Amino acid sequence: MITLSHMTDLTDPTASPAPAPADRPVYVIGGGPGGLAAAHALRAQGVRAVVLEKSDKVGASWRGHYDRLHLHTTRRLSALPGLPMPRRFGRWVSRDNVVRYLEKYAEHHELEIVTGVEVSRVERAEDGNSWLLHATGGRELAAGAVVVATGYNHTPHLPEWPGRDSYSGELVHASAYRNPEPYTGRDVLVVGVGNTGAEIAVDLVEGGAGSVRLSVRTAPHIVRRSTAGWAAQYTGVLVRRLPVALVDRLAKPMAKLSVPDLSAHGLPRPATGLYSRVKEGAVPVQDVGLIDAVKKGRVEIVGAVEGFEDGKVALADGGRVEVDAVIAATGYRRALEGLVGHLDVLDGRGKPVVHGPRSPKNAPGLYFTGFTNPISGMFRELALDAEKIAKAVARAGGVATRDAVTVEGRTAR
C-alpha cells in the first residue's frame, strides 16, 4: 500500500478556487517507469509532483507484456533514481520482477499517485504561465508544469493490410500475446522482426507450436545480449555520444565476429549501419535464441506481409502462406496527437520535437520523457532524464513545493 499525506482533489474540479501559480503542482502523466522516476526526482528537488495514471495500478504496460519477457538491459544499469533493483532479481530482470520493482519504488519514495484518471488534453492556461489538464469526468487540473510520460509503446499499431477485415483466421497484435500455450501444435506466422517479434517466435518454437514463420520486411541488426559476460548495453553506453558514421564502421567487424551470416536462411546482413538504424528508430535485435532457431530451421523467414487473400497471407515476394494464427509484432504508436498535438510540439512522425530537460520553445514548462528508444537502454535513460527534468523545473520555478497544499484524493494501491 502507498500511504500519502498530500493528494490532489480530483473528485470535484469546482470544489475550490484555482490555486495561485506558485501553488500548482507538477503533473506527471503516466505511472510507468518514466513517470515514477520523474516524480521522485522532482520531490528530491523539493517540488510537489502528482502522478496521474489512467489504470488502477502503476506499471500498467509492463503488466500486460508476454510472460517470458525480461529486460535486455542489466539489472544494475536499469535501476531508477534512489532505489537499486534487488540482486535476487538476477542479471536480466523478468517482467514480473519489473512490476514488483515499480510497485516498491512508488511505495519506498511515498510518491503522490492518483489512479483511474486519464488526461485527454493539455492546454496553456489563460494566465500564460501555467497549464490546464482536461481529465476523466470533466476534471480540469491546474499545473505549474507538465511531464508527459505516457510511454513509447502506448497504442498497438495494426497495419491496414488489404483484406484484413475479411480474413477469417486468427489475427492478433503482439500486445495480446501472453505465452505459447494457445498455439501448441498450430502453424503460426509472426509479423515483424523487432525484439518483440523475435522473442515471440522463439517462445512459440520452445512452447510447441507446429511451425513458426517470421515475416521480415527489412533485415535487422542482430547482436548478442552478452558476450563473455560483456553486455551489449555496455557497448551502447560507450558509443552513444560518438559520431553515427564511426559507430557504424566499428559495428561491422564486431557483427561478423559475433553473429553468423544468416543470408542463406533469409536474414542477410543489413546494408544500413547499425547506429544509423538506431537513429531512425530501429534498435538492434538482442538475441535470445533467434539465431539458433533460424539456423536449425525451427523458425522460417518469409517475406513481408502485403495483405490477405482467400484465407491466406499474401507476401511481398508473391508467395502465399496458410497458417492457423497471425501474431502482428508491428509496433505501437505514441498516440500523443490528441493530448498535445494542437500545441505544435510533435514532429511529422508524432514524436515530441524535444525530450528530457528541454521544453519546446513555444511550450515552456512542458516536458517529455520515454519517447526515444536509446541504444544505451530505456530504463537507464529514463533515470537520467528524470533528474535533468527535475532540475530544469526547479530552476524555472512557479510550481508548488512538496508541502504547499493538503487536499484529498485517491491513492494508488
Q: Bridge-partner residues for 139, per DSSP?
A: 135
Rounded Cα distance between 332 and 343, Å, is 22
Confidence of residue 405 (pLDDT cuts 50, 70, 90): very low
Confidence of residue 13 (pLDDT cuts 50, 70, 90): very low
Residue 73 CB neighbours (<10 A): 25
In angstroms, the Cα distances linking 52 to 25, 30, 113, 163, 412 are 12, 6, 6, 39, 10
Question: According to DSSP H, which parts of 12-122 are helical?
Answer: 33-44, 60-63, 95-108
Residue 299 cell numbers, joined: 523458425
What confidence score (pLDDT) does residue 399 get?
A: 85
What confidence score (pLDDT) does residue 14 get?
A: 36
Predicted model pTM: 0.90
Rounded Cα distance between 92 and 172, Å, is 28
Burial of residue 322 (number of CB atoms within 10 Å: 0-12, 13-18, 19+): exposed
Report whether CATH 3.50.50.60 matches the domain 21-154+334-396.
yes
- Amino acid identity of residue 60, one-letter, is A
The segment(s) of the chain belonging to CATH 3.50.50.60 are 21-154+334-396, 158-328
158-328: which CATH number, 3.10.105.10, 3.50.50.60, 3.30.70.20, 3.40.50.300? 3.50.50.60
* 263 CB-side CA count, 13 A: 6
Rounded Cα distance between 19 and 143, Å, is 9
Backbone dihedral region for residue 128 (phi beyond 0: left; psi -120 to 50: alpha; all else: beta): left
Instruction: Decide if 190 contacts 324 (C-beta within 8 A).
Output: no
Confidence of residue 22 (pLDDT cuts 50, 70, 90): low
Backbone dihedral region for residue 279 (phi beyond 0: left; psi -120 to 50: alpha; all else: beta): alpha
Residue 49 cell numbers, joined: 509532483
Confidence of residue 403 (pLDDT cuts 50, 70, 90): low
Instruction: Decide if 104 contacts 89 (C-beta within 8 A).
Output: no
Please compute the mean of the pLDDT values over residues 105-109 and round it to a whole number.
98
